[in-house]
C-alpha cells in the first residue's frame, strides 16, 4: 500500500507504519521476486478468518457477508474506459440494480445494501480518498494486475546499495537546471560525480544541474532523478525548480490527486477477538452505496475495518489491531491525541461487538503521513475527468532550452509517474528502473533485465 518503508518499535512490538502489502504475488512483480529470493515469503502468516459485526451489536453471518462483499467488489473493480463517470456514480447504479432484483426479501435487501456500502468504504481506504464520486471510473483502464496481495512487506531494497554513495539528512531546497555550474574537482569526487578526472587536474568541471540543500551545501550533477511524492510536488514544485517547471508539468501535478490513509495501531494486554480472526469489519445497517463518502463530524463511521497482526506468538507482535481510515478522516485523526482516539475507538468497538468489557488499549500509535513534510500523504489517484495519460506527462524528463546537448538533466520517478501501477511499491520501484534505463540508453549502456519499458511504453 504505502510507498515509504517505516517501522516502529515499542517494547517487544514491531509494526509497519508504511508499506505493508505486496500488491501482486507473481513473478512479474519485482518486489515479490526480491522477497521470494530472500526467503522472506516463507514468514508470511495465514490471513485469518473474516468477522463481520452490525451497529446493532450482533455478529453478521460471515457466509452471506462474504458473498455480498464479493458481489460488490466485482462491481467496484470495474475498469472503465473513457466513460467520464465517477466510480461512485457507477457503483451506486449497479449495486442498486442488484438490490432491486431482491424484490420480496426486504431483510436481505437491507443486509446486501449495507455490505455494499462497506465495500465502498473499504475502497476509499485502498485509494486514500474521501468520496467515491471524486474518483474516476476510468482509473484502472491502463492498470496491470500482477496477482493477489500478500501481507507484511519487509524492507530489503537497500541491502545492495553502495553505502559510500549514499548521502543522508540533506533536505533539498532548490534544484537548479538548464544552466552551467562550475566546481573544482575535489580529491574525493565519488559522491558528487561519475567523472574520472584525476585529482591532479586543476581544471574546472561544468555540470548542468545544481542541487542546493537547506544547510547551504551545493551538489552538482549531470543528471538528477526526482523521486519525491506527488504530495511534495504539489506543495513545493512552484518554488523548488529554477527555472520553473514547464506549464504542462505543473498542470499534470495539479490535476492528479494525492490521498491519505491513517493506520491506528492498538495494542492490548489480552485479545478480545477470537484466535482465528484476521479482520474485523463493522457494518452500519442504514448505510447505502450512494452515501459512501467521509464526514469529519461522524468520523467513526469510516473506522469500519480492523486487521489483526498475526501470529501473535511472534516476538515482534503482541495483541495488536490496526484500524484503517481514509482521506480527510485520516487527516483528522492525525491531529487527535492518543487519549481521544483510544476512548472513541473503544466505545465504537463496544457498540458493534456488543461487549461492554472491551478494554482500552495499553498503547496506541497513529501514522501521520499527511503531516510528514517529506511525504504529505500516501499515494496518487485519478479524479473524475482526468485520464491516466497525465502520469506520462509527469514522467517525462525536463526538456532543456539553454544547452540542448545536456539532455535528460532532470528526470522523474515515483508511483505517480506509472499509470499502469500507481499506488504500489512495485510501481515506484519500476519507475526507478525506467529512468535508469533511460540514462543507460542515453550513454548507450546495457539496459537492466528488470526494465519497466514494456509496462509504460508511452513514457
Which region among 16-25, 286-295, 392-401 has the lowest average model confidence (pLDDT)?
Answer: 16-25
- pLDDT at position 230: 97
The mean-pLDDT minimum among 90-99, 124-133, 402-411 falls in: 402-411
Instruction: Specify which of 138-147, 347-356, 402-411 reaches the highest per-range mean pLDDT.
Output: 347-356
Contact 5, 20 (CB under 8 A): no
- pLDDT above 80 (res 368): yes
**For residue 124, what are the CA distances in angstroms to 74, 179, 281, 304, 360?**
15, 44, 14, 11, 27
pLDDT value at position 105?
77
Q: What is the mean pLDDT of residues 397-426?
A: 87
Q: Given this model, what pLDDT does residue 153 score?
A: 45
Do 82 and 142 touch, CB atoms closer than 8 A? no
DSSP type of residue 134: G
pLDDT in tens, 150-185: 444 444 556 667 777 788 889 999 999 988 787 655
pLDDT at 40: 59
Please, what are the domains in the chain?
1-164+228-459 (3.50.50.60)
Place of cell 504475488: 25
113-131 residue pLDDT tens: 999 999 999 999 999 999 9
State pTM to two decimals: 0.83
Mean pLDDT across 440-456: 62
DSSP 167: -
Mean pLDDT, residues 300-308 = 95
C-alpha cell at 215: 544547510
- pLDDT tier at 328 (50, 70, 90 boundaries)? very high
Three cell numbers, residue 140? 484502472
* pLDDT beyond 50 at 1: no
Say if residue 266's pLDDT is above 50. yes
What is the mean pLDDT of the segment spanning 314-337? 87
**Which residue in 415, 403, 412, 404 sits closest to 439, CA to CA?**
412
Could you please report the per-residue DSSP string of 432-459? HHHHHHHHHHHTTPPPPTT--GGG-TT-
- Radius of gyration (C-alpha) of the chain in whole angstroms: 24
Lowest-confidence region among 37-46, 101-110, 114-123, 124-133: 37-46
Which candidate, 271, 261, 352, places its Cα nearest to that of 309? Answer: 271
Of 200, 201, 209, the residue nearest 182 (C-alpha)? 209
Mean residue pLDDT across the chain: 83
Per the CB < 8 A criterion, the answer to whether 329 and 262 are in contact is yes
User: 404 pLDDT band (50/70/90 cuts)?
Assistant: low
258 in helix, strand or coil? strand
The residue that leads in pLDDT, 184 or 370, is 370
Q: Can you spell out the DSSP letters for 306-347?
A: EEE-S-TTSTT--EEEEEEEEHHHHHHHTTS-HHHHHHHHHH
Q: What is the pLDDT of residues 62-73, one digit of tens each?
A: 999 999 999 999
Amino acid at each position: 500500500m504505502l510507498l515509504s518503508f517505516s517501522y516502529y518499535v515499542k517494547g517487544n512490538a514491531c509494526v509497519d507504519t508504511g508499506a505493508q502489502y505486496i500488491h501482486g504475488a507473481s513473478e512479474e512483480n519485482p518486489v515479490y521476486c526480491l522477497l521470494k529470493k530472500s526467503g522472506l515469503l516463507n514468514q508470511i502468516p495465514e490471513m485469518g478468518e473474516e468477522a463481520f459485526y452490525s451497529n446493532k451489536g450482533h455478529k453478521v453471518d460471515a457466509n452471506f457477508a462474504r458473498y455480498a462483499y464479493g458481489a460488490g467488489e466485482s462491481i467496484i473493480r470495474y475498469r472503465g474506459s473513457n466513460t467520464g463517470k465517477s466510480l461512485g456514480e457507477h457503483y451506486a447504479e449497479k449495486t442498486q440494480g442488484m438490490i432491486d432484483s431482491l424484490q420480496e426479501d426486504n431483510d436481505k435487501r437491507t443486509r446486501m445494501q449495507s455490505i455494499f456500502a462497506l465495500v465502498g468504504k473499504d475502497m476509499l481506504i485502498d485509494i486514500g480518498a474521501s468520496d467515491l464520486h471524486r474518483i474516476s471510473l476510468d482509473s484502472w483502464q491502463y492498470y496491470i494486475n500482477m496477482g493477489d496481495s500478500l501481507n507484511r512487506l519487509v524492507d530489503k531494497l537497500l541491502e545492495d546499495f553502495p553505502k559510500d554513495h549514499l548521502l543522508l539528512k540533506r533536505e533539498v531546497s532548490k534544484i537548479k537546471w538548464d544552466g552551467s555550474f562550475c566546481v573544482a574537482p575535489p580529491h574525493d569526487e565519488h559522491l558528487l560525480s561519475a567523472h574520472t578526472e584525476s585529482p591532479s587536474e586543476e581544471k574546472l568541471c561544468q555540470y548542468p544541474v545544481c542541487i542546493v540543500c537547506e544547510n547551504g551545501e551545493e551538489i552538482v550533477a549531470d543528471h538528477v532523478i526526482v523521486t519525491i511524492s506527488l504530495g511534495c510536488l504539489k506543495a513545493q514544485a512552484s518554488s523548488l525548480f529554477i527555472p520553473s517547471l514547464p506549464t504542462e508539468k505543473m498542470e499534470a501535478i495539479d490535476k492528479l490527486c494525492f490521498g491519505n490513509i491513517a493506520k491506528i495501531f492498538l495494542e492490548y494486554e489480552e485479545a478480545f477477538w477470537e484466535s482465528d480472526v484476521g479482520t474485523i469489519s463493522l457494518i452500519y445497517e442504514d448505510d447505502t452505496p450512494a452515501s459512501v463518502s467521509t464526514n469529519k463530524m461522524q468520523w467513526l463511521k469510516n473506522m469500519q475495518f480492523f486487521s489483526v497482526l498475526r501470529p501473535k506468538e511472534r516476538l515482534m507482535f503482541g495483541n495488536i489491531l490496526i484500524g484503517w481510515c481514509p482521506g480527510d478522516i485520516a487527516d483528522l485523526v492525525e491531529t487527535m491525541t492518543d487519549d481521544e482516539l483510544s476512548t472513541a475507538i473503544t466505545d465504537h468497538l463496544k457498540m458493534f461487538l456488543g461487549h461492554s468489557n472491551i478494554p482500552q488499549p495499553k498503547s496506541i500509535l497513529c501514522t501521520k503521513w499527511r503531516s510528514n513534510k517529506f511525504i504529505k500523504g500516501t499515494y496518487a489517484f485519478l479524479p473524475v475527468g482526468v485520464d491516466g495519460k497525465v502520469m506520462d506527462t509527469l514522467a517525462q524528463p525536463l526538456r532543456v532550452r539553454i544547452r540542448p546537448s545536456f539532455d535528460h538533466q532532470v528526470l522523474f520517478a515515483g508511483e505517480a509517474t506509472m499509470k499502469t501501477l500507481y499506488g504500489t511499491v512495485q510501481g515506484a520501484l519500476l519507475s526507478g528502473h525506467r529512468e535508469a534505463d533511460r540514462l543507460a540508453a542515453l550513454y548507450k549502456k546495457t539496459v537492466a533485465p528488470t526494465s519497466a519499458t514494456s509496462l509504460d511504453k508511452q513514457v
